[in-house]
Amino acid sequence: MGRITWDQYFMAQSHLLALRSTCTRLMVGATIVRDKRIIAGGYNGSVSGSVHCVDEGCYVIEGHCVRTVHAEANALLQCAKFGVPTERAELYVTHFPCLQCTKQIIQSGIIAVYYAEDYRNHPYAIELLEEAGIHVEKVELNDLIVDTTYKEKATFVDELLNDIEPLVTEQTFSAYKQEAKKLFHD
């Protein structure tokens, strides 16, 4: 495998940040970059010092978890907190930004948004980004061996093991179960 592109590098960083998410509905990570240097990162999670969705469940009002600060907002707030300018910076995010994050992105001076997955792409958010002249590009994470679907795979393997248990010997089943445990649970 050759050297990865800058887009893949920064998108991989966003996927790593998403693994810190405390929201059980969707894990999102965001990386702010200026001049090919990471200046901030964020993931979706609760307000510092408050309870987390993973601990007490999501606090959902009108279909949205109001407990969660979005990844993009957390990254932008990190810049504000530490006095790091975002003018002319780029944003790499695992999912297309919501309408509120889009407004914050525009107001912060971000010039490009790179996202890996479509997620409820709001038509007005798309319109605002176009109006502001912000470059928007889908950059799927594909050049790295980073498994962003490990939970789904682990669930599938668990279900598969349950289905085959009556069909194989106890020794064979034990070996399969041990291997699955090494792959997904350690």
Q: Spot the catalytic one: 56, 72, 137, 152.
A: 72
Half-sphere exposure of 1 (CA within 13 A, CB side): 7
Q: Which residues face 150 on adjacent strands?
A: none
Q: Please state the φ and ψ torsions of residue 30, each to the nearest 5 degrees.
A: -140, 140
Give the residue among 75, 94, 107, 104 at the shortest CA–CA distance from 138: 94
Would residue 72 show up in a list of annotated catalytic residues for this protein? Answer: yes
Q: Which residues face 56 on adjacent strands?
A: none
How many other C-beta atoms can be found within 10 angstroms of the C-beta atom of residue 12? 20
- Please give the full DSSP string across 84-118, using - where no structure is assigned: ---TT-EEEEEE---HHHHHHHHHTT--EEEEEE-
Q: Which residues are catalytic?
A: 72
